[in-house]
Structure 1
Amino acid sequence: MERVERDIVEPVGQVDLEERKLEVFQGLKKMIFQLQEWLLEKGFIFLLIGFLLGRALILSHLTPFALPFFVAVFMLRRESAPLAFIGILAGSLTLSIEQISYSFATIMLFLVAHRLFRNFAKQDTISLPFLVLFTVLAVDFGLAYIQNSYVLSGYDVLMGAIEASLAFVLTLIFMQSIPFLALSKRVKSLKMEEVVSLIITLASITSGTIGWSLYGLSIEHIFSRYLVLVFSLISGAAIGSTVGVVTGLIFSLASVASFFQMSLLAFSGLLGGLLKEWRRLGVSMGLLTATLLAGMYSENGIPLAPSMYESLVAIMFLFLTPKMVTDQLAKLIPGTAEHSKEQQQYLMKMRDVTANRVEQFSEVFQALSKSFSHFNVNSLDESEEREVDMFLSHVTEKTCQTCFKKEQCWATNFQQTYQLMTDVLYELDAGNEKLSQKLTKDLEKHCFRPKRVEEAINQQLTYYQANQKLKKQVYDSRKLVAEQLRGVSEVMSDFAEEIQRERENHHQQEEQIFEAIESFGMEIEHIDIYNLQKSNVDIDMTVPYSSNQHGECQKLLAPMLSDILGDNIVVYKEECEGGLGGVCEITFRSAKAFAIETGAAHAAKGGGFVSGDSYSTIELGAGKYAVAISDGMGNGERAHYESNETLRLLQQILKSGIEEKLAIKAVNSILQLRTTDEIFSTLDLLMIDLQDATANFLKVGSTPSFIKRGSKIIKVEASNLPIGILQEFEVDVVSEQLKSGDLVIMMSDGVFEGPRNVENNDLWMKRKIAELETDDPQLVADLLMEEVIRTRAGDIEDDMTVVVTKISHNLPKWTSIPMNISFSKNKKKIS
């Protein structure tokens, strides 16, 4: 029974303890927020900073910090300027009555001068430091002139000029630092000059504690070392030593006895930054080591024990500093891991926002495409009926309106009259010059003026046909817009998916490749891995430039990567900058499984220079290869322009990522709508996937193609009208699986139909292709062209084009070099 009670009591006690911890944490968090609101939002931090800067000295009696600080607060946080003014006067009062008088005089003179010259200064931020400079000079010279019995010595002029110059520089520094100290805006990151300005500001504030001590320990030494510890922890040796030098320099200017602190702070910042990998313990060890060495080898007789105690107190403050504070500060300083992470998160957020916007645009285009493609059959029928009614109304105005049988035709026999007039309209609209015998007899039997009615319908028919043609063009334009919007929507949707693909973290693989290649004796400066997917490897590498290069990248680096990654890697791009210290930027990509080699032969009609045929080979980014032939109607420049324009449009649309069937329809619509002339062209398109050698033949009005596989000849054909004739047509896609060694022969009608005295062009062409003893694409194209021209005794009666494509395995030029390492990829080992 006691054991059960104990088991019940203990969990209840644990729950109470967790609740108390939570209450304490929430209370502490609330207190921090209240303190932050009191200090930052209400501006009491300027009261504290003003107090310290008001009593900060340079060269024992110069105080150049007070006025620049007040000016920066006055310009950037005017509502907090009274608190800064009170703080400066309170700090100056701790020094002397003369000092508070000086501070009060400089601030008042600045306010008066600013009020007077405000209307003349267009940009206060530019003229402000000069106004501070002249204010300090005026007060210094005036006070010196009065104190020295109306005599101004050279020493007074020199010291006034020094103090005014320092005030000029400090104004610029404080103008950059005050926004950060006040947190008046969210700062994404600090520039290097802003970091230095912040360090000088913090060191100047710390110098206001000179002369303070607690239990024999110097306050300025504790806070200066604490400042060095924080910056060494968050940003490393460079910034840490910079903080040490700047803080020590300001201390030494304030008091020559503090010159020794410069070396101690700089050395501790350097050691702490080098040991920052051990976090707070590492930078603490750096400070203790620097303090110990500086104390042991100092010639100034400074006691070691107090200096060690001051360092220990600074270390204690470092360990009491919340990690949240150091992390937030580290995010603002360039070069830190936290800053890089913050930038990556910002870029990821921007990437997601961009992807979402692109996806939204894709949805908008998809909706517009549906809206344009939506077609109401009922509304079309109603529109057709209205147009017929309007047509007949115009005809009746010219014929039936003055006829005495009007009432009998349109009141008594309306349906019969309407149907008869409609039949006449449709028969004449069909292109018949005369009406059929039956319809003529019915019209003469029913109508009193048949010839006049027929003439009126013929006259009105021109307007009717023009209206119908305009409607068809509008409909065709809507279809074109709908299809293009749908294609753009698909491309943007794919682009949004690509944007959202993050670059994987390949640090471990980069190190493995780096070590493996360097162990082989080659020098590498940098490696970036973007993709390690099979057949889609993408690696950038930076290597030193060598004046006596002999293709080491193709002969050594690519084969080594091929063995490490288990893929056929080739040099995709190489850019070198020669000279001393030059480098080469190399891009390595996976080689395609199949290679393409093409040959072409073409001739213009009658041996002319301008052919109506055009051909093109296009390597697309998705691992596809396109070969296209277009034959423009007729011959000469106009036909060449049509065929070349067809291929140009097709190439641009295919490169944008739109699917090939939709691309052909788009080209067809564009060619049809851009001119009223009866101009058309054929299109023969071959799309080859270089990874698996699948081929898609898309033929629009073109002649058959042939595949030569050893002694076997395969014919590929389709039955579409030429492009640009009809708006509505379906693109026939014929798919074939190609093999290594296949020859794909594509030709225009001038070659296929060119042989004279040949009854069956198919059999003749297959026989000539089978008789070829070479597999060189260029030779095959030349031989076929020569055979066709020979059959016509050298006459070229039409434009002729032959394009031959050879498919072969992509064999690496250099064999892989065995590296004898196991490469880790996604926690799987591959050889």
Structure 2
Amino acid sequence: MEKVERRFIEPISEVSFDPIKQDMAKGMKKFLVKIESFFIKKGYILVLLGFLLGRALILSKLTPFSLPFFATIFLLKRDLAPLALIGLIAGGATLSLENSAFTFFISLTFLIIFRISRKWLKNEMRAMPFFVGIILGAGKIAETFLLTKQLTLYDGMMAGVQMSLSFILTLIFLQSIPLITFNKRRQLLKTEEIVCLIIMIASIMTGTIGWNVYGLSVEHIMSRYLVLIFAFVAGATVGSTVGVVTGLIFSLASVSSFYHMSLLAFSGVLSGLMKEGRKIGVAIGLFIATLLIGMYGDGGGGGNLSINVLETTVAVILFLLTPQYLTSRLAKYIPGTPEFTSEQQKYLRKMRDVTAHRVTQFSNVFQALSKSFSQIDVEHDEDQNQREMDFFLSNVTRKTCQTCFRKDQCWSKNFTTTYSFMEEMIHEMDQNGGIVSKKLSREWEKLCSRSNRVFDAIGQELTFYQANQKLKKQVHESRKLVAEQLLGVSEVMDDFAKEILKERENHHKQEEQILEAIQEFGIHIEQVEIYSLEKGNVDIEISIPYCRGHGECEKLIAPMLSDILGETIVVKREECATYPSGFCHATFSSSKAYKVETGVAHAAKGGGFVSGDSFSTVELGGGKYAIAISDGMGNGERAHYESNETLQLLKKILQSGIEEKTAIKSINSILSLRTTDEIFATLDLAMIDLQNASARFLKVGSTPSFIKRGKKIIKIQASNLPIGILDDVEVDVVSEQLKAGDLLIMMSDGVFEGPKHVENVEAWMKRKIQEIETDDPQEVCDLIMEEVIRSREGFIEDDMTVAVARIKHNTPKWASIPVQKVKRMA
């Protein structure tokens, strides 16, 4: 019964209190947003900052903060400069009325001089530090002279120090003030900007020097609180930097603060190292630093240990009360923090999604354009044909029937018969080269008294009609070509968008395993970056020290990776260091299961130098290997140009990622539209997958290919017309599974049809291929070419090309090296 009650009570408690917590969090967030709006957007924080900087001192005498702060605000946000000046004057008044008056007059002097010289300034931002330094230095000398009526070397040195400090502070404020005011937030803070921000915050805190609450120093509490915040947000590096910089600024303001600088620096390191313990761990780090440094503080002027502990306790209480909203927001702008990394990843994901969305939109646009070009309105086409026929007949009748005395008899009383006869005559003359059958001619002569004149008129108009139809056909083919190309581009862009959306996986654990395993083997590795662990598509980059050209990547690291990943890994690319202290960078990838060795032999007609045949091999992305032969019509340079152009177009289209069928259809449309001459070319294409040795054969008007597997000969054939003959070429795809040791033999028609006095050319070719004993691709090409030429008694009556590819297992040079204590990765 007790278990049952708990099961029902716990959910009720969660429902009861979670909304309350959420409401409290929302209320706190709204309150903080309102405070931020009041202080940051409206600029009232400048009054507080000006007040503290107006009373901040360096070496207990100099006040170099006032004018740099006012000048920076005046340059960046002129309408808020009065608020900053009010705060500076009020802060100076807490030191002395003379200091307050000096702040007012020096600021007024700056405004007058800056406005007078402004028209000669090309870059106000660069000139500002010089203006501030010179005006403040001169103002300090003038103030000293008015008060003491004399100047000493010491006074000049102090004026020079104040001038130098004001120059540097102006540069610092120009970088740091926009980071905390005016709501200008950047996604990335550089190291210099972080240091400038810390210097500014520490400078502001020096305005609290001398403030005590119940015997506790406000400056010590706030400085330790600042160290706690940065150590918690960014770790030991930034925490120690904050401690050192803040302690240094305080020590410049008061010589007695040297002890405090060592405490802050040690606190930043220790608290940052204990960051994993969250806020409690960081607070414990500050307590330990306070106790360790405080034990030696009495002799060094550090004060009582109990007071130090109390000050640390107050700083820790303030730190624990700090909302997570503020620390998380600060962490987003400091490199190296998880919040910053998460923010950057969000930004990159957003950019990736936007880019992919835009690419998808372009893909949809191209797809819509393709549909628009390929859509054929049958009814509209029929109406257009009917209108053209009516226009054709109207031109004929205007020349013949318009002045005939039997016009009314033919067209008013027998319109259907006359129209049908003339339409039939037009079709016959169009199809038979201007000739009308005798039967139709006799029947027409019975109806028409001017039959010969009608025949002549139809013949004349038919010339224009045929030209118009040919033009329409070319326009239709052009539309079809554009539609196919647009569709292919759409598919490529759609695939590209999908690739963009694939996130790079985090392989930190696998990277550490590989790094540890190889280093335990005795090879020093600087860095391992894994981009993909997909089977057959591994992509790893490794940086190693200067190897002196010993080939460690190929001989040791690749075999070890092969054992770790459970597949053969090879060196894809290697960049060796050029100097001993440099690093070598190597890219490792999956080895293909098969490789292809090729050989080719060709001869031009009559032993000429230019052959009408062309041959090409290209390794495409995704482990595909393409072999192609094209035979241009006829011989000589024109045929060579056509066949070579066909292969170049095919190569570029295939490399762009467009599917093979679409590529061949596009080439056919281009060749058929490019010229009015009857120029065509055959194409024999084999696409081999190097991972599983499967092959796809696309034959367009080409001769059969043969696969030799031992003593067995396999014929690959498809019956398609050459490219460029028909407007719409049909591409048959023949698939075949190849095996290691197979010989793929492709040839042009000059070789296949070359043997003389042979009735069954196919059987003869199979027998000759079967009799070949060698498996070297180049030797096979030469032997086949020699046999064909011998059968012609040494004459070459057509361009001849033979291409042979041998499929082999891709055996790596080095066996895998077993790696102990590392399991194979999935």
TM category, shorter: over 0.9
**2: CA distance between counterparts of 1:532 and 1:6?**
47
- Listed as ranges, the matches of 1:369-388 within 5 Å are 369-388=370-389
Give the deviation of 1:707 after TM superposition. 0.9
Which residue identity does 2:287 align to in structure 1?
Answer: L
Which residue identity does 2:718 align to in structure 1?
Answer: A
Judging changes above 3 Å, is the alpha-carbon distance between structure 1 residues 501 and 548 closer, same or farther for their aligned structure 2 residues?
closer
Q: Which residue of 2 aligns with 1:408?
A: 409
**1: CA distance between counterparts of 2:169 and 2:633?**
80
Indicate conservation of the 8 Å contact 2:43/2:182, yes or no.
Answer: no
**1: CA distance between counterparts of 2:19 and 2:465?**
87
Q: Which residue of 1 aligns with 2:180?
A: 181
Q: Which residue of 2 aligns with 1:355?
A: 356
Is 1:255 aligned to residue 254 of structure 2?
A: yes
Q: Which residue of 1 aligns with 2:764?
A: 764
Number of residue equivalences: 821
**1: CA distance between counterparts of 2:793 and 2:9?**
113
Indicate conservation of the 8 Å contact 1:189/1:333, yes or no.
Answer: yes
**2: CA distance between counterparts of 1:366 and 1:239?**
53
Judging changes above 3 Å, is the alpha-carbon distance between structure 1 residues 533 and 497 closer, same or farther for their aligned structure 2 residues?
same
Moved more, 443-452 or 615-624: 443-452
**1: CA distance between counterparts of 2:421 and 2:817?**
89
> Equivalent residue of 1:445, what SS?
helix
Q: Which residue of 2 aligns with 1:321?
A: 322
Judging changes above 3 Å, is the alpha-carbon distance between structure 1 residues 20 and 288 closer, same or farther for their aligned structure 2 residues?
closer
Give the deviation of 1:490 after TM superposition. 1.4
- 1:254-282 superposed Cα distances (whole Å, 9 cap, x missing partner): 12222333333223323333333333344
Moved more, 20-29 or 442-451: 20-29
Which residue identity does 2:169 align to in structure 1?
Answer: L
**2: CA distance between counterparts of 1:163 and 1:819?**
66
Judging changes above 3 Å, is the alpha-carbon distance between structure 1 residues 21 and 493 closer, same or farther for their aligned structure 2 residues?
closer
- 1:573-615 superposed Cα distances (whole Å, 9 cap, x missing partner): 2222221222222222222222211111111222222211111
> Equivalent residue of 1:744, what SS?
strand
Is 1:463 aligned to residue 464 of structure 2?
A: yes
> Equivalent residue of 1:622, what SS?
coil
> Equivalent residue of 2:592, what SS?
coil
TM-score by length of 1: 0.94
Q: Which residue of 1 aligns with 2:585?
A: 585
Judging changes above 3 Å, is the alpha-carbon distance between structure 1 residues 426 and 816 closer, same or farther for their aligned structure 2 residues?
same
Is 1:506 aligned to residue 507 of structure 2?
A: yes
Indicate conservation of the 8 Å contact 1:296/1:304, yes or no.
Answer: no
Q: Which residue of 2 aligns with 1:807?
A: 807
Which residue identity does 1:294 align to in structure 2?
Answer: I
> Equivalent residue of 2:713, what SS?
strand
- 1:430-475 superposed Cα distances (whole Å, 9 cap, x missing partner): 2424322112222322222222222222222222111111111111
Judging changes above 3 Å, is the alpha-carbon distance between structure 1 residues 51 and 30 closer, same or farther for their aligned structure 2 residues?
same
Indicate conservation of the 8 Å contact 1:554/1:570, yes or no.
Answer: yes
Is 1:308 aligned to residue 309 of structure 2?
A: yes
- Listed as ranges, the matches of 1:645-656 within 5 Å are 645-656=645-656
- Listed as ranges, the matches of 1:54-65 within 5 Å are 54-65=54-65
Q: Which residue of 1 aligns with 2:287?
A: 288
- 1:1-22 superposed Cα distances (whole Å, 9 cap, x missing partner): xxx9999999999977666655
Indicate conservation of the 8 Å contact 2:695/2:735, yes or no.
Answer: yes
Indicate conservation of the 8 Å contact 2:517/2:820, yes or no.
Answer: no
Judging changes above 3 Å, is the alpha-carbon distance between structure 1 residues 431 and 583 closer, same or farther for their aligned structure 2 residues?
farther
Give the deviation of 1:794 after TM superposition. 2.0
- Listed as ranges, the matches of 1:710-789 within 5 Å are 710-789=710-789
Which residue identity does 2:313 align to in structure 1?
Answer: L
Q: Which residue of 1 aligns with 2:794?
A: 794
**2: CA distance between counterparts of 1:657 and 1:28?**
55
Indicate conservation of the 8 Å contact 1:604/1:612, yes or no.
Answer: yes
**2: CA distance between counterparts of 1:514 and 1:493?**
37
Indicate conservation of the 8 Å contact 1:512/1:823, yes or no.
Answer: no
Is 1:132 aligned to residue 132 of structure 2?
A: yes
Which residue identity does 1:333 align to in structure 2?
Answer: I
Which residue identity does 1:230 align to in structure 2?
Answer: I
- 1:205-237 superposed Cα distances (whole Å, 9 cap, x missing partner): 111111112222221122122222222222233
Q: Which residue of 1 aligns with 2:443?
A: 442
Q: Which residue of 1 aligns with 2:167?
A: 168
Moved more, 313-322 or 659-668: 313-322
Give the deviation of 1:557 after TM superposition. 1.6
Give the deviation of 1:27 after TM superposition. 4.1
Which residue identity does 1:507 align to in structure 2?
Answer: H
Moved more, 430-439 or 564-573: 430-439
Judging changes above 3 Å, is the alpha-carbon distance between structure 1 residues 811 and 468 closer, same or farther for their aligned structure 2 residues?
same
Give the deviation of 1:783 after TM superposition. 0.7
Q: Which residue of 2 aligns with 1:340?
A: 341
Q: Which residue of 2 aligns with 1:516?
A: 517
Indicate conservation of the 8 Å contact 2:256/2:301, yes or no.
Answer: no
Give the deviation of 1:375 after TM superposition. 0.7
Which residue identity does 1:799 align to in structure 2?
Answer: D
Give the deviation of 1:304 after TM superposition. 4.4
- 1:180-213 superposed Cα distances (whole Å, 9 cap, x missing partner): 2125234212122221211111111111111112
**2: CA distance between counterparts of 1:324 and 1:228?**
18
> Equivalent residue of 2:116, what SS?
helix
- Listed as ranges, the matches of 1:164-313 within 5 Å are 164-297=163-296, 299-305=299-305, 306-313=307-314
**2: CA distance between counterparts of 1:608 and 1:221?**
96
Give the deviation of 1:483 after TM superposition. 1.2
Give the deviation of 1:806 after TM superposition. 1.2
Which residue identity does 1:778 align to in structure 2?
Answer: Q
Give the deviation of 1:749 after TM superposition. 0.8
**2: CA distance between counterparts of 1:670 and 1:438?**
43
Indicate conservation of the 8 Å contact 1:695/1:735, yes or no.
Answer: yes
Q: Which residue of 2 aligns with 1:71?
A: 71
Indicate conservation of the 8 Å contact 1:509/1:823, yes or no.
Answer: no
**2: CA distance between counterparts of 1:607 and 1:8?**
96
Give the deviation of 1:56 after TM superposition. 0.6
Moved more, 532-541 or 198-207: 532-541
Q: Which residue of 1 aligns with 2:489?
A: 488
- Listed as ranges, the matches of 1:30-179 within 5 Å are 30-149=30-149, 153-179=152-178
Give the deviation of 1:554 after TM superposition. 2.1
**2: CA distance between counterparts of 1:805 and 1:680?**
26
Indicate conservation of the 8 Å contact 2:259/2:302, yes or no.
Answer: no
> Equivalent residue of 2:332, what SS?
helix
Which residue identity does 2:144 align to in structure 1?
Answer: A
**1: CA distance between counterparts of 2:70 and 2:155?**
24
- 1:596-637 superposed Cα distances (whole Å, 9 cap, x missing partner): 111111112222222111111111112211111011112222
Give the deviation of 1:417 after TM superposition. 2.0
**1: CA distance between counterparts of 2:57 and 2:158?**
13
Judging changes above 3 Å, is the alpha-carbon distance between structure 1 residues 596 and 173 closer, same or farther for their aligned structure 2 residues?
same
Which residue identity does 1:225 align to in structure 2?
Answer: R
CA RMSD of aligned residues (A): 2.5
Unaligned runs of 5+ in 2: none
Is 1:555 aligned to residue 541 of structure 2?
A: no
Indicate conservation of the 8 Å contact 1:105/1:139, yes or no.
Answer: no
Which residue identity does 1:42 align to in structure 2?
Answer: K
